Amino acid sequence: MDVSDQVGVTGRCYCGARRFSTEGLPSAVAYCHCADCRRVTGAPVAAFAAFPESAVRFAPDDGRSVGVTPGVRRSFCPDCGSPLTGRYDYLPGMIYVPLGLIDQAGWLPPTLHAHAGQCLPWLRIDDGLERVDSSARGRLGG
Ligand SMILES: [Zn+2]
Ligand SMILES: [Zn+2]
């Protein structure tokens, strides 16, 4: 194991009752403009970081799991309601954590916009990043 294997990130929910740390940096960081992510986060656009499920440790756990959209499980802190994770059947073995929970978010710039076709019409982000209308599963898997 070299030094880069030991680098990870840390984070917590709004109230701090749920914390996590990772082994390694995210395999991808992306914006998501889908309507589900808007509702989950309450923000006009979501951003999340992708990790292999085995690389993320939650303390004491990853909250309460909620399934609304078929094939998608999301979890939330039962105390404050912060979204903690998303898991997608079509991206097995991966876990998606809202970027805003991560203490080191300032060092983890997104590299693409997923579901760009659902972007709110008044939202302008002129960052030159790749925009895909799909979930970008090929880019966001493990
Ligand atoms: Zn909380
Ligand atoms: Zn989304």
pLDDT in tens, 63-117: 999 999 999 999 999 999 999 999 999 999 999 999 999 999 999 999 999 999 9
Contact between 82 and 18 under an 8 Å Cβ cutoff? The reply is yes
Ligand in closest contact with the CA of 47: 2
112: CA distance to ligand 1 center in Å? 28
Q: Measured between alpha carbons, how far is 111 from 43 in angstroms, rounded to an integer?
A: 19
**What's the structural domain count of the chain?**
1
28: CA distance to ligand 1 center in Å? 24
CATH number at residue 71: 3.90.1590.10
98: CA distance to ligand 1 center in Å? 13
- What is this structure's pTM? 0.91
85: CA distance to ligand 2 center in Å? 12
Edge-first strand order for the sheet with 46-52 is: 64-66, 72-76, 83-88, 94-98, 46-52, 28-32, 112-114, 130-131
| Lookup result for tokens 């105390």 | 79
Q: Measured between alpha carbons, how far is 53 from 45 in angstroms, rounded to an integer?
A: 24
pLDDT at 120 over 90: yes
- The pLDDT tens digits for 83-92 are 999 999 999 9
Ligand in closest contact with the CA of 14: 1
pLDDT of residue 6: 62
16: CA distance to ligand 2 center in Å? 24
- The pLDDT tens digits for 16-39 are 999 999 999 999 999 999 999 999
- State the residue range of the domain holding 9: 3-140
36: CA distance to ligand 1 center in Å? 20
pLDDT at 140 over 90: no
Q: Measured between alpha carbons, how far is 133 from 56 in angstroms, rounded to an integer?
A: 28
Ligand in closest contact with the CA of 11: 1
